[in-house]
Each structure stands twice: as structure tokens, then as C-alpha cells.
Amino acid sequence: MTDLSPTALRGAVDLSSLRHAAARPPAPAGASTPSAPTPSLVFDATDESFAQVLELSRTVPVVVDLWAEWCGPCKQLSPVIEKVVTELDGRVVLVKVDVDANPQLAQAFRAQSIPMVVGLVGGQPVPLFTGAVAEQQVREVLAQLLQLASQHGVTGVVPRGDGEPTDAETTEPPLPPLHAEAFAAIETGDYARAIAAYQKALAENPRDTDAQAGLAQVRLLDRVQGADLAAARAAAAAEPTDVPSALRVADLDVAGGHVDDAFDRLLDLLALLPDAERGPVRERLLEYFGLIGDADPRVIRSRGRLASLLF
């Protein structure tokens, strides 16, 4: 988890190229009206509109969610961030950025892997986390962000005005019962129960793609829970052909958003293993492919290499 100390705003990503308006001093403590138009507590931003987002962050802290349509972990993480932000009642605003449609922002934030989540306080960025994380960690990080913002005098609140959607407009269709059970289990950290719920959903409907993706995501969260990345890397380096060690590091890389590293590690290992030992590595790669999404260019590239190694 990122340590959001009072000095966290120093040496952060340089967003000066995105500022098209003159800088303003930070909003006074206790300000309650944003200095930039806010369509809602959660909205999209573009290369062209981001200057207004920077201005807004001088009054209320902003969470920037960098995502893409092809990114499977993004689709798992974004609803969690939106839920937590909404529960904070206007003390934080969530801005979503499609990195494919907004290359200037992707470059400015140095988004080498996604999902990537960054905070903005007083026009300055603060790295929060990269990759899939559990809801409790999202809550803890945003609580730290609010503390940091308070220390810098950014304590405004964005009101839910008349322009907010009504309850009827924002109500989504209810989740299928087994999916709802899995989500409830994930929120409490009961990954075993969530896995069982998704497996039951797939037994009832093997073509349930949402259950497939959910199952892969929960299995990953369960495997990396409490894992030590440094120790895992050391073990894998000591035994380059040890399958469990390689799978452990690959899991941590995927959870951290380093998808290419995970794919390359397992594909390189597959090339070294005899046919009889390849099964677990192949199965883990296929699980990752389903989690990330078939349209992801990294999956397309790695699937082609996997086919060449197997056939």
C-alpha cells in the first residue's frame, strides 16, 4: 500500500503539460464549493478536459482511475473504487480515464500497466496503487488520501445537486443470486466462499463469462493474500524451473498490474519444461488470459507464443 505521508506530493508525476490555465492558490480549508464544474461524483475525463480536473483537485481530492476496455482487472476494480468513493459523500471525486482514447494522459501518468489509480491533491498527483486490490485496501488508501488532502488544506465537499441521477435512473438490475453471494463474500475477505459460489454458477451455466472472470479474479486474490513478493522472487531466482515458485511470482505480477512480466515468465518456463510438467503452467496462463480478456493485445501475443510452444 502507498504510504501517503505529508511529503507525498513532492517529486510526483509531472502534469504541467496538462495545465492550460494559470495556477490558482489552494482552496482555503473548509471550502465547500468546487471551483470547476462537476457533472457528478464519478465522471469521465479526456486529454482536453483534464485541466478542469486539476483545478477541481484544489478544492476536493480527486481519484483518477486509468483503465481500458480490454483490461479485465480494470472491470473488476473500477466498480469497487466507485462504490467506495460514492460512500464518502462528496469528500472525494472519481475521474475515469480511458488510456486508449487519451494517450496524452496515459503518457503524463506514466501508465505502463493498468489498472492504475492516482490521487490528485491541489493539482499534484499522488500514486495510490496499481493492479487489482481488495475493497478493504481501497478504503484504507482513500482514507489516507483524505488525511493527506486535509494536511494540504484541500477539504471541500462536492454536493449532490439536482443534476444527480435519481434512484430509479441509477438502479442496476440485481445480480444473479450466486454472483451476489460471491460479491458479498469478497467484501468480507471470504475468498473460499466466493470461489464456491462462482463454481456453482459455472456448473449451472458453463458459458457464464462473468462468473468465469470473477472466479479467476478471486482465485488470484486468494493466492496472493499475505504473499511476500521479495521472498517469492528470491525463491524463483534460486530455482528457475521450479513450477510453484514461478506461479507464485506470476500471480503477484498479475495482481500488481505487471501482466507482460507474468506472461513472459511462464512462457519462458514452459519452453524449458518437459511435456509431463507443463500442465499447471499452461492452465495458469489460460486462467490469466480469461482474466485479462481475449481482446487484450498482450493476451493475443502470448496466446500465439503459447500455441507455438505446445504445437
Query: Between the CA atoms of 56, 45, 161 and 168, what dihedral angle is there, to the nearest 10 degrees?
Result: -160
Q: Is 71 a catalytic residue?
A: yes
Q: Is 74 a catalytic residue?
A: yes
Residues in the chain: 311
10 Å CB burial of residue 215 (0-12, 13-18, 19+) is buried
In DSSP terms, 129 is beta-bridged to 117
Distance, CA of 9 to CA of 5 (rounded, Å): 9
Which of 13, 5, 10, 3 has its CA nearest to residue 148? 5
* Phi (first) and psi of residue 42, to 5 degrees: -130, 120
15, 36, 62, 74: the active-site residue? 74
Q: How many CB atoms lie within 10 A of CB 161?
A: 9
* Phi (first) and psi of residue 62, to 5 degrees: -120, 135
- Alpha-helical regions (H) of 109-242: 135-151, 167-170, 177-187, 191-204, 209-224, 229-238
Does a cis peptide bond (omega within 30 degrees of 0) precede residue 127?
no
9, 71, 121, 306: the active-site residue? 71
Active site residues: 71, 74
